[in-house]
Chains A and B, each alone.
Chain A
Amino acid sequence: MYLYDEFDERLVRERVAQFASQVERRLSGALTEDEFRPLRLKNGLYLQLHSYMLRVAIPYGALNARQLRQLGFIADVHDRGYGHFTTRTNLQFHWARLKDVPTVLGLLADAGMHCIQTSGNCIRNVTADPFAGVAFDEIEDPRPVAELIRQWSSLHPEFEWLARKFKIAVSGAAQDRTVMKSHDLGVRIVRDAASGEIGYRILVGGGLGRSPMEAQILRDFLPRQDLLAYLEAALRVYNLAGRRDNKWKARIKFLVHDIGVEAFRAQVEDEFARIDKAKTNARPAEEARIAAFFAAPPYENLPGVSRKLERSIARDEELARFVEHNLTRHKRKGYAALTISLKPVGGIPGDISSDQMRVVADLAEQYSFDEARVTYAQNLVLPHVRLGDVPHIFARLKEQGLASANVGLITDIVSCPGLDYCGLATARSIPIAQALAQTFADPARQKDIGELSIKISGCINACGHHHVGAIGILGLEKKGAESYQFTLGGDPGDSYALGELLGPGLPAEKVPEAVERLVAVYLARRQPDETFIETTRRLGLAPFKTAFKEIADAVA
């Protein structure tokens, strides 16, 4: 994993001092509230419903034990003993005190972390495949590129005052696990069929929010050495041409949509041609320096099957379920990537206590070469565990309420914090997620239903990714009451699709029943081995709409 050198550390520390000075200048009146707000946001500090919220960047979702323990310490001393992982793989402290913030930023810097550009109209925290370096279908590890982009985008003198936020994802595998097509810009590592050379496919103009759009191909194959010059060109075109008159039309997706991807591409290519590439691109030596941090850990030579694990599974039904749902195939024989679900039935999706952070830190250190990852589905991953260690890890997780065997299942619900915390929310999300998890708590029922993603957002901004949920739920406010709209058929991956509206909004108490009806249609109509999303694709919306209408009519 990447470790700061003295330059990285100095920059982060200087940024902390810069923010302290900005706070001072706000208090003295040198800066107005309007001038201070974007500076505060670019340091991850939001004003929410009940208090400030501090959003810590977890670049491409990578954490080590020291960082997890430091986050636990901050949670205990400066917050309320927990944190919340978001769909952008950041960690939010929801009860920050303004006077503590410079101290907390210093504590983060001690562990090689920061809050830089986790909000504001700038390039945000870059995300990557949570199974980077591990996945069996990987062309190349995306983390070195993600780290290069992290550095290049940090405190960029030209791109800190964009028309709107700008999100970049990087993927290096055959299968996309980053929701790349919902990003302002996507960098996909590809191998050129003709030359065998590795380079990048660049996507642009995706986004969720109130006008969801699918990203389109900007450049089919970009030679790897040209990445930073090309990013500079794309960002410059957006910085100059992105709409500034209307916040709701300011993301790059609107620009690409309005002028068309061909015209946008022509402008980017023209700018790219003018940039002095030798002075702009990263040198191979710097790329190699970064890549060296991500070299494969010293794996052991293990058999592909662990007798110990097999024996344990035979004795323990819960462990068997955990192994079935929470392990992902590793490129190395005898190892697996183990997903820790932060979706216990009755819990808050993505929340983690300080004790749990410390246990995950211990497990990462002891069993996963000191690495943990955060996923956009608000779970954690121990990327390299020996199969024989799984029973012990499972037991430790179980003691902490972290052993939910539901990854990818109907109770693995993605949810934004919603109206319980967020100043933008129009409805609550967390209680909806909790009620749904209770409804489908029975493990046998979950297993029968199989893979099904429910994603819940508490407002049109779509932090809960509801547009790409197989079942998407959007909380709105209608005549003073919370109302939940349903969409069906969304898919975040390579079969990317935006969900389609099923009917009028429902009151909160009808949401579980409505999901049960949709699931019942699937169970009745599915073909052998067909998942929920596959059935919706085959059948189309109609039978689900009919089932949904019965409930909607009863409410009306």
Chain B
Amino acid sequence: MLLLDRHGPKEDVWERAEYLCQAETNFVLAPFGAIAESPLVDSELRLGALLEPDRALDEVASFFDRLDLIVIHFPSAADGRGFSVARQLRQAGFKGVLRAFGPLISDQFPQALACGFDEVEIIGASAARQPVEHWMEALKRISFLYQRDYGATDSIPEQRLARAAHV
């Protein structure tokens, strides 16, 4: 398993559980459905929700206050729904930590960050084949984006505008 944010690898403090009542620590990561249906949603527990990419946004939005972490599952690297889910969650005002979870490839790390993710969690063979350096190098490959509202303040249109103002 490999957990990374834009600064590098990090420890996972979240305990995984199928149901909230199984929790042994105060940081529980459980499937969103289990959280939505559990009376423990009102407890002192810190909650992380595991979300499949087909979950409706409005369902999740009503739990934003209770969630410190949302983990979006990528069933495969080629399935890019999670990028749009992350955008929608951010657009709807989710301020907690967003994690992409699945067999991603390192070239998708900058894309994930641009769409609003804070971190990526890679498991199994994908993590074994792609060491930390690959993920960190991937962040440096493309300097600037054409898209204005994807995380960076130095998008190409912004830089062009700044330059034109200086002339």
A residues contacting B by CB (< 8 A) are 5, 7-8, 10-11, 14-15, 17-18, 21-22, 25, 29-32, 35, 38-39, 121, 151-152, 154-162, 236, 239-240, 244, 274-276, 279-280, 282-283, 285-286, 289
The contact of A30 among B134, B147, B148, by CB within 8 Å, is B134
Within 8 Å by CB of B137, from A21, A152, A155, A275, lies A21
Q: How does the 8 Å CB contact mask read for B2-24 relative to A, with 1 for contact and 0 for none?
A: 00000000000000000000000
Judge whether B141 and A21 touch: CB under 8 Å. yes
Interface centre among B85, B92, B129, B147 (most CB of A within 10 A): B147
User: Is A283 in contact with B161, judged by CB distance below 8 angstroms?
Assistant: yes
0/1 interface trace, chain B 57-93, chain A, CB 8 Å (1 if under): 0000000000000000000011111011101100110
Q: How far is the CB of B157 from chain A (nearest CB, A)?
A: 5
Question: Which residue from chain B places its CB closest to the CB of A235 in the assembled complex?
Answer: B84
- Indicate whether A14 sits within 8 Å of B83 (C-beta atoms), given known contacts A38-B78, A157-B150: no
B144 closest partner in A (C-beta): A7
Q: State the Cβ distance, A328 to closest chain B Cβ, in Å.
A: 33
CA distance A280 to B77 in the complex (A): 26
Q: Which of B25-33, B34-42, B43-51, B109-117 contacts A (4 or more CB under 8 A)?
A: B109-117
- Known contacts: A22-B107, A31-B129, A39-B107. The answer to whether A274 contacts B83 by CB under 8 A is no
- Given known contacts A31-B105, A274-B91, A276-B91, what 15 new A-B pairs fall within 8 Å (CB)? A7-B156, A14-B141, A14-B142, A18-B141, A18-B142, A32-B129, A35-B105, A38-B78, A39-B107, A155-B145, A236-B88, A239-B84, A282-B148, A289-B160, A289-B164
> Which B residues touch A275, using CB under 8 A?
91
A158-B87, A161-B79, A161-B80 known; A280 vs B148 contact (CB < 8 Å): yes
Asked if residues B144 and A157 are in contact (CB atoms below 8 Å), the reply is no
Task: Using CB atoms, name the residue of chain B closest to A5.
Answer: B160
Q: How many whole Å from A418's CB to the nearest CB in chain B?
A: 28
Contact A157/B115 with A18-B107, A279-B149, A286-B160 known, Cβ cut-off 8 Å: yes
Contacting pair A157 B156 (CB below 8 A) = no
The reply to whether B142 and A35 form a contact with Cβ atoms under 8 Å apart is no
21 interchain pairs, CB-CB under 8 A:
A7-B159, A7-B160, A11-B143, A11-B144, A11-B146, A35-B105, A38-B78, A151-B146, A152-B146, A154-B146, A156-B146, A157-B114, A158-B115, A161-B78, A161-B79, A161-B80, A236-B87, A239-B81, A240-B53, A279-B148, A282-B157
B156/A151 in contact, CB under 8 A: yes
Please state if A157 and B111 are interface contacts (CB–CB under 8 Å): yes
Residue on A with the closest CB to B92?
A274
* A11 pairs with B156, CB closer than 8 A: yes
Q: B54: shortest Cβ distance to chain A, in Å?
A: 8
Interchain CB contact under 8 A, B164 and A285: yes
Check A157 against B145 for contact (C-beta < 8 Å).
yes
User: In the complex the two chains form, what is the Cα distance from A372 to B61 in whole Å?
Assistant: 52
Once A157-B114, A274-B91 are accepted as A-B contacts, the answer to whether A30 and B130 lie under 8 Å apart by CB is yes
Say how far A258's CB is from chain B's closest CB, in angstroms.
15
Residues of the A chain whose Cβ atoms lie less than 8 Å from the Cβ of B108: 161
Residue of A nearest to B81 (CB): A240
Residue in contact with A152 in the complex, picked from B54, B106, B130, B147, CB distance below 8 Å: B147
Chain B residues near A244 (CB-CB < 8 A): 79, 81
- Compute how far the CA of A30 lies from the CA of B131 in the bound complex, rounded to whole angstroms: 9
Bound-complex Cα distance A238 to B137 (A): 31
Contacting pair A285 B84 (CB below 8 A)? no
Check A286 against B85 for contact (C-beta < 8 Å): no
CB distance from B94 to the nearest CB of A (A): 13
* Nearest CB of chain B from residue A73's CB, rounded to whole Å: 27
B146 and A158 contact, CB distance less than 8 A: no
Q: How far is the CB of B116 from chain A (nearest CB, A)?
A: 9
Q: Which of B115-156 contact A (CB under 8 A)?
A: 115, 129-131, 134, 137, 141-151, 156
Instruction: Verify B84–A240 contact, CB threshold 8 A.
Output: yes
Of A10, A22, A157, A283, the most chain B CB neighbours within 10 A belong to A157
- Name the CB-closest residue of A to B108: A161
What B residues does A10 contact at CB under 8 A? 143-144
Query: Chain A: which residue is nearest B164 at the CB level?
Result: A285
Name the residue among A11, A14, A17, A35 with the largest chain B CB count within 10 angstroms: A35
In the complex, A331→B46 CA distance in Å? 68
Asked whether, in the complex, the Cβ of A35 is within 8 Å of the Cβ of B147, the reply is: no
> What CA separation (Å) do A539 and B137 show in the bound complex?
65
> Which 7 pairs show the lowest CB-CB distances between chains A and B?
A161-B80, A157-B114, A157-B111, A279-B149, A151-B146, A7-B156, A239-B84
